[in-house]
């Protein structure tokens, strides 16, 4: 059995206007995204060839664009959109997306709210 390799982006920050409350939609807030891309990096490593792996700089820009893009009510929906975009890269077999909403409108003290999803081609 061959295990897949992982390329991770941690702490991508962007301002978005997601949430169910009018204040969230109007004022926006910072979202932080962690993405782990699962793929076989051996072809790229063997040839030292960027075209045979995933370009994490491009993925980072795509993730930020989604967060800054069209508002959604749920963090779950935001995570799903990010996962779908990551899987458009042909070499990515699976992706884990963690969306952090550290300024969520919660009335008690807290550190963070996260939604974590895993999606694959299969």
Q: Which residues are catalytic?
A: 101
Q: Which helix (DSSP H) or strand (DSSP E) does residue 27 occupy? A: helix 22-27
DSSP for 39-91 reads E--HHHHHHT-GGGS--HHHHHHHHHHHHHSS--S-HHHHHHHHHHHHTTSTT
Give the number of other Cβ atoms within 10 Å of residue 39's Cβ: 21
């Amino acid at each position: 059995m061959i295990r897949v390799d992982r390329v991770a982006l941690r702490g991508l920050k962007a301002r978005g206007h997601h949430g169910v409350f009018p204040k969230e939609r109007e004022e926006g807030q910072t979202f932080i995204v962690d993405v782990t891309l699962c793929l076989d990096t051996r072809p790229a490593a063997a040839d030292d060839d960027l075209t045979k792996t995933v370009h994490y700089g491009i993925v980072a820009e795509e993730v930020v664009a989604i967060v800054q893009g069209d508002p959604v009510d749920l963090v779950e929906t935001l995570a799903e959109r990010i996962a779908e975009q990551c899987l458009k890269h042909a070499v990515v077999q699976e992706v884990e997306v963690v969306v952090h909403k550290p300024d969520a409108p919660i009335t008690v003290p807290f550190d963070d709210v996260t939604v974590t999803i895993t999606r694959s081609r299969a």
